[in-house]
Amino acid sequence: MLLWCAMAEESADTTEYQAKAKRMAALEEDLLRMAQGDMAALERFYEGTKTAVYGFVLSILKHAHDAEDVMQEVYLQIYSAAGRYRPDGNPMPWVLTIAKNLALMKLRQRKRESQMTAEEAEAFLNSVAWESGVSREDSMVLRSLLLTLSAEELQIVMLHAVAGCRHREIAAMLELPLPTVLSKYRRALKKLKKQWEEGHE
């Protein structure tokens, strides 16, 4: 459950680690196949990463239509650059760096500074709920999260909880000091906990 993934402390649970390692190995295998021109591998890769990529792009652009445009560009670039990927156990930082660069390029083009609207948050949450089995109650809390966190807090939570990136990987991707990432992550979880408690009073 996405909410509990975000609120829980990082776990050394062997089963969870093995499951993540298996998912990452499958994604890396798909990248190798893409480098050989396998379009079916691109489709599998897209299905396995689309929620994390869309959430990250949307957290930067705060506009659903722009995020959808960038998503197409992200996967085209991943396909064309697959041969340059060097396996290291987790392709998500590489993928999300591509997504970040393209999202920032779009942001500079549009110079859009608006906040994510409730409708855009709803659309994203519906996609996450459909894919991850998030309950209606959790979805309501996540909606509050999307609408109340700062852009950086939202990105950090999305990268950690949805994309499975480690804090040091997030720090490198967002070009922030590791202590800053850790403090913003903790602050975001406090906000999330507060939203949850207020919703259950």
Residue-wise pLDDT for 124-151, tens only, equals 555 554 444 445 555 555 566 666 777 7
pLDDT at residue number 4? 44
Q: What is the dihedral of CA 82, 85, 91, 94, to 10 degrees?
A: -90
**This prediction's pTM:** 0.64
What structural domains and CATH numbers belong to the chain?
A: 2-199 (1.10.1740.10)
**DSSP 8-class letter at 87:** -
Measured CA to CA in angstroms, residue 162 lies from 53, 61, 78, 96, 116 at distances of: 9, 18, 19, 12, 19
Look up residue 96 and give its amino acid.
L
Q: Residue 116, SS3?
A: coil
Residues of the chain with pLDDT under 50: 1-12, 113-114, 129-134
pLDDT at residue number 88? 86
Question: Residues 191, 148: contact at Cβ < 8 Å?
Answer: yes
**DSSP 8-class letter at 62:** -
Q: Count other Cβ atoms within 10 Å, centred on residue 138.
A: 20
pLDDT at residue number 157? 80
Q: Count other Cβ atoms within 10 Å, centred on residue 36.
A: 9
